[in-house]
Amino acid sequence: MYRIEFLRKAYEEFKSLDRPIQKLIKEKLDILASNSEALKNNIKSLKGKHAGLYRLRVGNYRVIYKEEKDRLLILIIRVGHRREVY
């Protein structure tokens, strides 16, 4: 099972969202930490200057993260609406 950590900026972005959206994102992150295969249709690797990062789609919101398999860590980099996060 992976551990989830937020960058400070990502945590502030997450906390600024409405409560129902926060709850939905938290549920998806819990699933991601325990079994990422369950969300494979909502996960996509980013390209270009964001190579090495992944995005998790949660409705109209996106969670940009980095996966460190050797440390079993998912580091959340950005959280926000899809028109603003990239």
Cross-strand pairs, 24: none
Distance, in Å, from the CA atom of 61 to the CA atom of 43, rounded to the nearest integer, reads: 12
Tell me what the mean pLDDT of segment 17-21 comes to.
97
In percent, the amount of the chain with pLDDT more than 70 equals 100
- Model pLDDT, residue 17: 97
Distance, in Å, from the CA atom of 80 to the CA atom of 74, rounded to the nearest integer, reads: 17
- Model pLDDT, residue 36: 85
Could you tell me the two tokens for 77? 């980099």
pTM more than 0.85: yes
Q: Which DSSP string corresponds to 25-68?
A: HHHHHHHHHH-GGGGGGGEEE--GGGTT-EEEEETTEEEEEEEE
Domain 3-81 indexed as CATH 3.30.2310.20: yes
Q: Domain ranges in the chain?
A: 3-81
Tell me what the mean pLDDT of segment 28-48 comes to.
94
| pLDDT tier for residue 2 given thresholds of 50, 70 and 90 | very high
